[in-house]
A = this chain, B = another copy of it.
Amino acid sequence: MSVTAAAGFRAAGVVAGLKPSGKPDVALVVNDGPLSAAAAVFTSNRCKANPVLWSERTIADGRLTAVVLNSGGANCYNGPEGFQTTHASAELVAELTGGQAFDVAVCSTGLIGQPLDRPILEAGIRAAHAELSPDGGSAAATAIMTTDTVAKESTASGEGWVVGGMAKGAGMLAPALATMLVVITTDAVADAATLDAALRAATKSTFDRLDTDGCMSTNDTVALLASGASGVTPPAEELTAAVAAVCADLARQLWHDAEGAHHDIAIEVVGAASEDDAVEVARSVARSNLFKAAVFGNDPNWGRVLAAVGTTRAAFEPEKIDISMNGVKVCVAGGTQFGRPSTDVDLSGRDVHVLVELNAGPATATILTSDLTHDYVHENSAYST
């Protein structure tokens, strides 16, 4: 159900023809109200795609009546026509739905640097509008997939209100948002400021902690729309918790579907002096190609973990760091004492848990990442594009 789980929303996903594969590639989500409050966060990449440049402006007034999304082209770095195409698609949605273009967010995903075919996109938007349905959430979630192998949907419920969301993204997953498009809807009554606070709190501890390959996209967008159709105004903390639950679930689905991954690796740092330190250390490990290649080979190479920790500015003393892999403490006191043998570590399963104990304070953080595999190289080299 995803984005149509909450009352007051209709959605659709159709085949426009932007993708050579002939798979669905245009999605539309419409908020039928009575409210049209919204919030959104975007990539922190300074080189932004056209739809991000557009949507950043449209969200400024805290209102959205629709989100139009396409796969099959990122509409990014593709000449002077690109922004006009984004603008035109918002105008068309406004015309079809009887709204204002400035209340329509636009999201695109796919290859960057390629023209996005405006006539095909516009025909797709008309087709999607014709198919809008309160049951269209799954079709929309399918239409935004690129190298995703499964559609990602999630819901959470409060007392008399619902939050639902959809996501796409499988590669280029990195902080300050993964390469992903996420639309979350709720029929709770909430104003834009409440939604904005809820969304920022939720993404900080979920999507921002996903770092599969250290690469940051140009198109990331996470939008949250409230219809108020339930008539229920939940406490802000309950709404935030529900949004966070949906974000966390979608983030885990993105993690499990990361391009070419053979292992889902959680890097948990405990005993840090601050949460920022914990994030910095966990992210450094998550970005070590040597460590990630070792995990691919089922090699519990904790020396590469410690080497990655050593490149950070976090507060710690090297000779106080303990490292465990899948529950086996292989490194004690920074390798100055003997831990259990690496041969006790079993990495043959999909899940890998790395615990780094800094013994420098009370703060913790976990970063979710993937191993570096032949499939990752294959999918991201020209052989696959």
Say how far A305's CB is from chain B's closest CB, in angstroms.
10
Say how far A211's CB is from chain B's closest CB, in angstroms.
11
Copies in the complex: 2
Q: Which residues of B contact A77 (CB under 8 A)?
A: 302-303, 306, 331, 334-336
Which residues of chain A from 30 to 46 have a CB within 8 Å of any chain B CB? 44-46
Q: Are B113 and A381 in contact (CB under 8 A)?
A: no
Q: Are A335 and B377 in contact (CB under 8 A)?
A: no
Q: Are A216 and B311 in contact (CB under 8 A)?
A: yes
- Please tell me which one of the listed residues B74, B80, B172, B383 contacts residue A290 in the complex, with CB atoms under 8 A apart: B172
Decide: A306 near B47, CB < 8 A? Known: A77-B331, A80-B336, A214-B289: yes
Q: Please choose the segment from A11-19, A134-142, A232-240, A293-301 that sits at the chain B interface, where 4 or more of its residues have CB less than 8 A away.
A: A293-301
Q: Are B335 and A113 in contact (CB under 8 A)?
A: yes
> 1/0 per residue A281-315: CB within 8 Å of B?
00000011110011011110111101111111000
Secondary structure at chain A's binding surface: helix, strand, loop or mixed?
loop
Q: Are B45 and A381 in contact (CB under 8 A)?
A: no
Say how far A216's CB is from chain B's closest CB, in angstroms.
5
**How many angstroms from the CA of A89 to the CA of B329 in the assembled complex?**
30
Say how far A77's CB is from chain B's closest CB, in angstroms.
3
Q: Is A78 an interface residue (CB 8 A)?
A: yes
Q: Is A318 an interface residue (CB 8 A)?
A: yes
Q: Are B381 and A297 in contact (CB under 8 A)?
A: yes
Q: Is A178 an interface residue (CB 8 A)?
A: no
Q: Are A382 and B297 in contact (CB under 8 A)?
A: yes
Which residues of chain A from 67 to 115 have a CB within 8 Å of any chain B CB? 74, 76-80, 82, 111-113
Closest to A300 in B: B382
Decide: A337 near B293, CB < 8 A? Known: A374-B374, A377-B372: no
Say how far A35's CB is from chain B's closest CB, in angstroms.
34
- Please tell me which one of the listed residues B47, B303, B335 contacts residue A307 in the complex, with CB atoms under 8 A apart: B47
Q: Is A342 an interface residue (CB 8 A)?
A: yes
